[in-house]
Amino acid sequence: MNRLKVGTRLAILAGIVSLVAAADGFLALGGMAHGKQRLETVYQDRTVALVQLGQVLYDTLSIRRQLDLAQEAPTQEQIDRALDEVAQLDAQRERAWQGYLSTRMTPEERQLVDRAEAHRAQLAKARNEVIAAYRHDGRSAGAAALASTHVDALFDGFHADMSRLIDLQARVARAQYDAEQSYTRFRLLLAATIAGGVLFSFGLMAWLARTITRPLAAAIDAAHSIAEGNFETSLPVAGKDEFGQLMHALLKMQEALRAMSGEIRTRIKQLEDMSNALPLAVFQARVSPDMGFAYNFIGQPALAGCGNTPRREAAFHDLRAHCR
């Protein structure tokens, strides 16, 4: 990692965080769409079908009840009223049945529907014969038609078909519910993935920030140490990134300053030795307006003669006379 530049590290971090966020977002959108589709499938294919089948079964039982009432009716008017009710119930049942046939079906369900459709056709034919006998020949003929067409057995067969279809809806709905449970686990996995992605992103950012702040703090400490004149401190130089280059530059500056400082000390020692060998060695001596004696460097013998103002003045005049 120390071989990568800071800009490259930040770019990698931004890319990884963006990828994690994008992946979490796609998973969330996909999961939401999948869940919506599953719920719509359960509602359209099973709940609606159950309502329609229940309506068909209810209307079928109601038709059978009206035919029984027609058989027991004492007058032809009451018979006709019961038969009119049968016609209305049959039209209502037909609408529910056709609505159910338009739903999505499993192969097993399609086989049951074909069987029920055949029984429904037989029942409709027999029922129409019974109704015609009641209307044209009266109650006795209708009762005879009921017995000869075996309407009761046909009703029982169609009722059994409806019961099997309703049970099938319950079983398929249960299977879809189990599939929905698996989707619930998927949602939990999705939530854990999102949380893990967020934690991973924060951890990655913290780690990357640490790789930036620690070398930067070391560079600051090194700069302060050099500024205080400490040229012997060991500087950690590692990596080829910006911080490594900065520490390398500080190390070169420290070495240059150390060499310069040693050279200056050597020159000063040489000047001190030279000045001490001369009785009155003074470099860049001057007298200020208030008659003060100033200098950049003075030898020890000359300095011993400049303890106070009169002696400084005398030493200065002696120095000037000596220079002449």
Residue type, 46: R
Is domain 6-207 in CATH 1.20.120.30, yes or no? yes
Q: Is 96 within 8 Å of 166 (Cβ atoms)? A: no
Residue (of 93, 40, 34, 99) closest to 63 by Cα position: 93
Write the pLDDT tens digit of every residue in 151-194: 889 999 999 999 999 898 888 877 777 766 676 777 777 777 77
From the CB of residue 16, how many other CB atoms can be counted at a distance below 10 Å? 16
Cα separation of 228 and 283, whole Å? 29
Q: List, in sequence order, the alpha helices (H) in the chain.
A: 6-42, 48-72, 76-101, 107-137, 139-149, 151-227, 242-277, 300-304, 309-323
Cα separation of 292 and 271, whole Å? 24
Per-residue pLDDT, 323: 41
Mean pLDDT confidence for 121-150: 89
Helix (H, G, I), strand (E, B) or coil at 212: helix
Lowest-confidence pick of 82-91, 144-153, 234-243, 273-282:
273-282
> What are the boundaries of each domain within the chain?
6-207, 279-324
Q: Is 164 within 8 Å of 112 (Cβ atoms)? A: yes
Cα separation of 310 and 324, whole Å? 21
Per-residue pLDDT, 308: 42
Provide the Cα torsion 124, 126, 129, 131; round to 10°: -60
Write the pLDDT tens digit of every residue in 38-57: 555 555 567 788 888 999 99
Write the pLDDT tens digit of every residue in 218-270: 778 778 877 777 777 776 766 677 777 777 787 788 788 878 877 877 877 77
DSSP for 106-154, please give it.
-HHHHHHHHHHHHHHHHHHHHHHHHHHHHHHH-HHHHHHHHHHHTHHHH
Per-residue pLDDT, 314: 53
Residue type, 200: F
Q: Is 44 within 8 Å of 103 (Cβ atoms)? A: yes
Cα separation of 19 and 29, whole Å? 15
The mean predicted confidence, pLDDT, of the chain is 75
Q: Is 275 within 8 Å of 297 (Cβ atoms)? A: yes
Q: Is 299 within 8 Å of 291 (Cβ atoms)? A: no
Burial class (CB in 10 A: 0-12, 13-18, 19+), 140: exposed
Phi-psi category of 150—alpha, beta or left, where left has phi over 0 and alpha has psi -120 to 50? left
Provide the Cα torsion 76, 82, 87, 92; round to 10°: 170
Residue (of 145, 148, 147) closest to 132 by Cα position: 145
Burial class (CB in 10 A: 0-12, 13-18, 19+), 127: buried
Question: Is the model's pLDDT at 319 over the cut of 60?
Answer: no
Per-residue pLDDT, 258: 79
**What are the tokens at 106?**
């499993």
